[in-house]
Chains A and B, each alone.
Chain A
Amino acid sequence: MLAGQQQRLQADIRALVGRHGRDRSALIPVLQELQTMHATISDYAMQVVADELGIHPAEVYGVASFYAFLRPVSRGRFVFRLCGTISCELAGKARVARQLENDLGIRFGETTADGRFGLEWASCLGMCDQGPALLVNDRVYTRVTAEQVHAIIDECKGTFGAHAPQAVHS
Chain B
Amino acid sequence: MITVNSKKTPFTFESVEPESGLRAALAMSRADIIGEVGACNLRGRGGAGFPTGTKWNLAAAARVKAGGTKYVVCNADEGEPGTFKDRVILSEHADLVFEGMTIGARAIGATVGIVYLRSEYVYLRPHLEQVLATRRQNTLLGTDIGGLAGFNFDIHIHMGAGAYVCGEETALIESLEGHRGEPRNRPPFPVDTGFNGQPTVVNNVETFAWVACILSRSANWFKAVGTAKSTGYKLFSVSGDCREPGVYEFPLGITVAELLEKVGGLDAKAVQVGGASGHCIPASEFGRRIAFEDISTGGAVIVFGPGRDMLAVARNFMEFFVEESCGQCAPCRAGNAKLLEGIEMLQRGDCSMQYVQELLGLCETMQLASKCGLGQSSPNAFVSIVKHFKDEIMGRTLAH
Chain A residues in the interface with B (C-beta under 8 A): 23-29, 31-32, 62-63, 66-70, 84-87, 89-90, 121-131, 135, 138-140, 142, 169
| 29 contacts across the A-B interface (CB closer than 8 A) | A23-B178, A25-B178, A26-B178, A32-B159, A63-B178, A66-B181, A67-B161, A67-B181, A84-B319, A86-B240, A86-B272, A86-B313, A89-B316, A90-B239, A90-B241, A90-B302, A121-B323, A123-B164, A123-B323, A123-B324, A124-B80, A126-B83, A126-B84, A126-B86, A126-B87, A126-B118, A128-B84, A129-B6, A131-B239
For window 90-139 of B, CB contacts with A under 8 Å fall at: 118-123
Query: Judging by beta carbons under 8 Å apart, are B84 and A28 in contact?
Result: no
Cross-chain pair count, CB within 8 angstroms: 136
Query: Judging by beta carbons under 8 Å apart, are B240 and A90 in contact?
Result: yes
**CB contact under 8 A between A139 and B178, given known A66-B163, A123-B320:** no
Query: Judging by beta carbons under 8 Å apart, are B162 and A29 in contact?
Result: no
Nearest chain B CB to A115's CB is how many angstroms away?
21
Task: Say yes or no for B154: interface residue by CB 8 A criterion.
Answer: no
When distances are taken between beta carbons in the complex, the residues of chain A under 8 Å from B308 are: 90
Task: Say yes or no for B398: interface residue by CB 8 A criterion.
Answer: no
Taken together as a complex, chains A and B put the C-alpha atoms of A67 and B87 apart, in Å, by: 21
Task: Say yes or no for B78: interface residue by CB 8 A criterion.
Answer: yes
Query: Judging by beta carbons under 8 Å apart, are B6 and A124 in contact?
Result: no
* Of B122, B180, B324, the contact of A62 (CB 8 Å cutoff): B180
* Of A25, A85, A129, the contact of B237 (CB 8 Å cutoff): A129
Considering the complex, give the chain A residue whose CB is closest to the CB of B123: A138
* Of A32, A70, A86, A126, the contact of B120 (CB 8 Å cutoff): A126
For window 218-263 of B, CB contacts with A under 8 Å fall at: 237-241, 245-247
Considering the complex, give the chain A residue whose CB is closest to the CB of B308: A90
**CB contact under 8 A between A128 and B302, given known A87-B240, A135-B120:** yes
Task: Say yes or no for B1: interface residue by CB 8 A criterion.
Answer: yes
Taken together as a complex, chains A and B put the C-alpha atoms of A122 and B79 apart, in Å, by: 11
Task: Say yes or no for B292: interface residue by CB 8 A criterion.
Answer: no
Considering the complex, give the chain A residue whose CB is closest to the CB of B125: A169
When distances are taken between beta carbons in the complex, the residues of chain A under 8 Å from B175 are: 28
Task: Say yes or no for B27: interface residue by CB 8 A criterion.
Answer: no
* Of B238, B312, B320, the contact of A85 (CB 8 Å cutoff): B320
Q: A87-B302, A123-B81, A126-B83 are in contact. List 8 more A-B contacts (CB 8 A).
A: A90-B240, A90-B308, A124-B83, A126-B86, A128-B82, A130-B6, A130-B245, A139-B1
When distances are taken between beta carbons in the complex, the residues of chain A under 8 Å from B320 are: 84-86, 123-124
Nearest chain A CB to B172's CB is how many angstroms away?
12
Query: Judging by beta carbons under 8 Å apart, are A87 and B239 in contact?
Result: yes
Query: Judging by beta carbons under 8 Å apart, are B176 and A86 in contact?
Result: no
* Of A67, A70, A87, the contact of B82 (CB 8 Å cutoff): A87
* Of B81, B118, B159, B181, the contact of A128 (CB 8 Å cutoff): B81
Taken together as a complex, chains A and B put the C-alpha atoms of A85 and B83 apart, in Å, by: 11
Q: Which of A24, A126, A131, A138 is the most central at the interface, judged by chain B CB atoms within 10 Å of its CB?
A: A126
Sort A-B residue pairs by CB-CB distance and give the 4 closest, nearest first.
Answer: A68-B162, A69-B162, A67-B161, A128-B239
When distances are taken between beta carbons in the complex, the residues of chain B under 8 Å from A140 are: 1-2, 123
**CB contact under 8 A between A25 and B272, given known A126-B87, A130-B6:** no
Contact with A along B318-354 (1 / 0, CB 8 A): 0110011010000000000000000000000000000
Query: Judging by beta carbons under 8 Å apart, are B81 and A124 in contact?
Result: yes
When distances are taken between beta carbons in the complex, the residues of chain A under 8 Å from B304 are: 90
Nearest chain A CB to B259's CB is how many angstroms away?
15
Query: Judging by beta carbons under 8 Å apart, are B162 and A70 in contact?
Result: yes
When distances are taken between beta carbons in the complex, the residues of chain B under 8 Å from A124 are: 79-83, 120, 164, 320
Taken together as a complex, chains A and B put the C-alpha atoms of A31 and B78 apart, in Å, by: 22
Taken together as a complex, chains A and B put the C-alpha atoms of A63 and B316 apart, in Å, by: 27
Nearest chain B CB to A50's CB is how many angstroms away?
12
When distances are taken between beta carbons in the complex, the residues of chain A under 8 Å from B118 are: 126
Query: Judging by beta carbons under 8 Å apart, are A123 and B79 in contact?
Result: yes
Considering the complex, give the chain A residue whose CB is closest to the CB of B245: A129
Nearest chain B CB to A58's CB is how many angstroms away?
12
**CB contact under 8 A between A129 and B164, given known A123-B79, A140-B1, A140-B2:** no
When distances are taken between beta carbons in the complex, the residues of chain A under 8 Å from B82 are: 85-87, 124, 128
**CB contact under 8 A between A126 and B121, given known A63-B178, A86-B317:** yes
For window 126-173 of B, CB contacts with A under 8 Å fall at: 158-164
